[in-house]
Each structure stands twice: as C-alpha cells, then as structure tokens.
Structure 1
Amino acid sequence: MAAAAGLFAACGYRAATMAEIACRSGISKPVLYKAFSSKLELYLAVLDEAVRDLEESLGAALGRADGPRSIVTAMVAAVFDFADRNPRSAALLAGAAVAEEPSAQRAARRATELCVDSLLRALAPHLSPRVEQWLIAAELVAIAQSCARDWAITGKQLPRADVVATTAGLCWAGLAGIELNRGADPRLPAVGAARN
C-alpha cells in the first residue's frame, strides 16, 4: 500500500503500473495481483486509506474544539496536519479529484464531504438556521484544503503555525462577516471583533 501510494502520488493513476508497484514493494507481480485484482482496486484501497487518515485527524481535532472560533481553527489545523503528516495521501486525494476514473473522483468527493459534514455538525449549534449552513461549511473547507495543498506543494516555506493562524483567521473573519450581514447568532462577533 505504501509503495502504491507513493507511486500514485508521484505520477498519477494512469502512469503508475502494477509492475512498478510490485517492484517497489519487493514482491512479484503475480503476488500483487493475488492481493488486488486490478490497478483500480489497489488505487481505491489507497484512496480509502487516505480518507480514513483524514477522518481520524479531523475527528481528533474537532473533538477538542469548544466554540465556533475554536471549531474553525481546529478544522483548518486538521487539514494542514493531514497535508503535513500525510503528504502522499493529500496528493492522492487532490489528484483523484481530477482523475478520469469516476470511482476515484467519488473517493475524493467523499473526503471533502467528510470534512464538510464534520464541520457542519460542529458549527450547527452556533449558526443561525436562516443561513445556508452547508454552503458556509463547504466554503470554509475549500479554503482550508486549497491553502494546505498550496502550502505543501510550494515546499512549506512558511511555518505551519503561521499558515494555520492566517488561514483560520481568514475563515473566521469570513464566517463572522456572513453572520453579521445576516443578522444571525449574537454569539458570533462582528467582523472587526473577529480579527482580535
């Protein structure tokens, strides 16, 4: 699985071969085919493992969060932690989102939906029922994923703590601004207060 994840992340699903995966694993191609009947089956198994890794990271972070700002920061930190600790998995999920293989695209969507649903459950008590809660959660997750992916791809030139704080601050200011504009939950601060 590790050899396959590395090769799929490095050169994509189409370019990776079962022969190369077997070689990198130190096993024969027939032995690999006994474990996985096709390259697609192996690819989906690797993607499923990546989704589980992300789920664990997100669950642990959100489980410790208390209050809306803490929840937003925890989600952003979890996405960055996942990209930092599991660069292959993060690259695989990003690649799967644009892969030609529909089942791989579904795996990538499942990872994003997992993040959105987890964030939505955590934030729901703090959001007004009048706002588009799913859209808010989806946008916050998209910002975190995009920033984490760019940070990882560009060689992590800034310290993790700084990029997490900046990204979380951006997300929080946006969330507070939407709530303020909608006249929603008074527990959420005004945009100016969100920056403090």
Structure 2
Amino acid sequence: MSQSTRDPAGVVRAKRLPREQRRTQLLECALQVFVAKGYHGASMDDIAEIAQVSKPVLYQHFPGKHELFLGLLDTHLGALEHELTQALSLAEDNKDRVQATMGAFYEFISRKDEAYRLVFTSGMDNDDEVEDRLERFHDDMAAAIAEVIADDTGQPMAEATMLGHGLIGMALSAARHWSRLSERPDREVSAQLTARLAWRGISGFPKESESTDSTR
C-alpha cells in the first residue's frame, strides 16, 4: 500500500521513503497493474497513479516498463525457487519431497496477489530476457532435484538431470492447466494427484542401497 499525505491544496502526494522501501512499494503496485491488465495493457502512468508518485520518481527506480516487469519476475521466481528448495530439503523421504514440491507449485498459484500470472499469462513468452529467466529457473530447480535423485539412486548426473527436467515440466504444465480452470478442483487434491503421478514414475528408480541388495 502507498503512503501519502495531502498538501494544502488537497493534492495527494506520496511520503518520502528510503530507496529500498520505495522500490518494494513500486513493485507491489506494478504487480497489481500487470495482473489486472497484462504486460501489454499496462502503462507506467497506471503504475505511478496507483503508487501515488510522479513518473520521474518511478523512472528513478526503473528505466522503463520492461525493467519493472523483469524486476517483478526476478522477485517472484526467486520466492518460488526458495519455497521449492525448502520443500526438497525439509522433507524426510523422497515421497514426501515429491508431495511437498508439487504442493509448493499449487500454493504459488493460489496466492492472493496472483503473481503466477507473471509466469503463465503475461503475454511475454517470446521476450528473450523473460525466456532466459524462466529457463534459468527451470534449470536450477531441475539441477536441485537431480542432485537428490543421483544421491539416492546412483543414476549418472546427466540422466538424473533429465529426470529433474521432466518432473519440473510436469509440475509446471499441471499447475498451469489448473490455473486456467474456471472451476478448480481442490488445491490439495490436485497437488496430491500430480504428486502421485510423479512418484509412480520416480519410484521406479530404487535407492542405490536397495538396488545393490537386490543383485546380491
């Protein structure tokens, strides 16, 4: 929310804020506009109006709409990556890890700020810089999953990475479909269904200790 005061003439003006606090506020306001209008329908005028700042103040922090969108994408992809990494590290076994990871995707889509629209419905799919960020996110998460798979199963890292990409791709595709439904199935049920499908695949690669025992 913006912080503002009225001058003697009754004009609403934003209070002066520390630079980082102002940047955070501008990103929050920009998210509202991009979610409501999409990238191409949004304007810097819209964002400045909601933030109750002048356009020069907005341009002090972001050179243009594109940079502002990229800043938002970085923020929310970073938050999602943190949640997914936590899910991988805190779960006690692989089945729980799969469930927690799928749950994190659906939780992201269910957030009230609808930040998932930046990833799924922004109309920026063909933008090179957006594509680079999404690919890097996909690669980073696939690598994190691959490390767990390789440690547990003894699969070569190249093969484990392919499996990691497959799991992330499936999760994104299922969650994206769920986000588009006018009548969505229960979030937890949907996450469990996706996790069950993923687990049936990944459990076909037994833990290295189990594989070794079976050959004795």
Relative to the length of structure 1, the TM-score reads 0.81
Distance in 1 (CA, whole Å) between partners of 2:133 and 2:123 is 8
Unaligned ranges ≥5, structure 1 = 189-196
Aligned CA RMSD, in angstroms, stands at 2.4
- Structure 1, residues 29-65: CA drift from partner, whole Å, max 9, x if none? 2211111111111111111111121022112222211
Distance 1:13 1:98, change over 3 A: closer
Q: Aligned in 2, Cα 1:11/1:55: closer, same or farther, shift over 3 Å?
A: same
Larger radius of gyration between Structure 1 and Structure 2: 2
Q: Which has the higher contact order (CA 8 A, sep 6+)?
A: 1
CA distance in 2, matches of 1:115, 1:5: 24
Which residue matches 1:64?
Answer: 90
User: Percent of aligned pairs with the same residue?
Assistant: 27
Cα distance change of structure 1 residues 108 and 97 upon mapping to structure 2, 3 Å threshold? farther
- Partner of residue 41, structure 2: 15
Q: Gapped runs of 5+ residues in structure 2?
A: 1-26, 212-216
The 10-residue stretch of structure 1 (163-172 or 87-96) with the greater mean CA deviation from structure 2: 87-96
Structure 1 residue aligned with 2:60, among 17, 34, 39?
Answer: 34
For 2:192 and 2:123, locate their aligned partners in 1 and report how far apart those are by CA, in whole Å. Answer: 27
SS in 2 for 1:70: helix
Output the amino acid matched with 1:158. P
Find the aligned partners of 2:124 and 2:66 in 1 and give their Cα distance: 15
Is residue 2:177 matched to residue 1:139?
no
**Which among 181, 193, 197 is matched to residue 170 of structure 1?**
197
Q: Would the aligned equivalents of 1:80 and 1:148 in 2 still touch at CA under 8 Å?
A: yes
User: Higher helix fraction: Structure 1 or Structure 2?
Assistant: 1
Q: What code does the residue aligned with 1:75 have?
A: T
Aligned residue pairs, count: 184
Bigger Cα displacement from structure 2, 136-145 vs 155-164: 155-164
1: distance between equivalents of 2:110 and 2:171?
Answer: 13
1:96/1:108 contact within 8 Å kept: no
Paired with 2:151 and 2:183, the residues of 1 have a C-alpha distance of 34
Matched, 1:160 2:187: yes
Query: What do residues 102-122 of structure 1 show as CA deviations (whole Å, max 9, x unaligned)?
Result: 111112222222321222223
The reply on whether 1:76 has 2:102 as its aligned counterpart is yes
Alpha-carbon distance change, 146 to 129 in structure 1, aligned in 2, over 3 angstroms: same
